[in-house]
Amino acid sequence: MNAAGGYITPGFLDIHRHGDWQAFGNGDDELLNRQGLTTVVNGNCGLSVAPAGEKFGKEIARFLSSVTGDFRWGKDENTDDTEGVLFSKKKEESCGISEKEIEIAALRIMSTMSAYMSALGKEKCSVNTGMLAGNGTIRASVKGYASGKLSKEELHQVWKAVEEALSAGALGISLGIAYAPEFEYDRDGLVEALQPLKGTDIPITTHIRNEGDGILLAL
CATH code for the domain in which residue 180 is found = 3.20.20.140
Q: Is residue 128 part of a domain?
A: yes
Average pLDDT over residues 62-76: 75
**pTM for the structure as a whole:** 0.86
pLDDT value at 172 more than 90: yes
pLDDT value at 94 more than 60: no
Percent of the chain exceeding pLDDT 70 equals 86
Label residue 175 exposed, middle or buried (CB < 10 Å: 0-12, 13-18, 19+).
Answer: buried
pLDDT at 211: 83
pLDDT value at 152 more than 80: yes
pLDDT at 97: 64
Domain that holds residue 45: 13-211
pLDDT at 145: 98
Q: Is residue 7 part of a domain?
A: no
pLDDT value at 111 more than 90: yes
pLDDT value at 101 more than 90: no
Q: Is residue 3 part of a domain?
A: no
- Tell me which of 33 and 96 has the higher pLDDT: 33
Contact by Cβ (8 Å): 132, 164: no
Q: Is residue 216 part of a domain?
A: no
pLDDT at 75: 46
Q: Is residue 5 part of a domain?
A: no
pLDDT at 93: 53
Euclidean distance between CA atoms 210 and 184, whole angstroms: 14
- Tell me which of 9 and 77 has the higher pLDDT: 9
- Tell me which of 132 and 93 has the higher pLDDT: 132
Query: How many distinct structural domains can be found in the chain?
Result: 1
Q: Is residue 136 part of a domain?
A: yes
Q: Is residue 91 part of a domain?
A: yes
Q: Could you count the other beta carbons within 10 Å of the beta carbon of residue 98?
A: 10
Average pLDDT over residues 130-144: 98
Q: How would residue 96 be classed by pLDDT, with cut points 50, 70 and 90?
A: low
Q: Is residue 8 part of a domain?
A: no
pLDDT value at 58 more than 70: yes
pLDDT value at 40 more than 80: yes
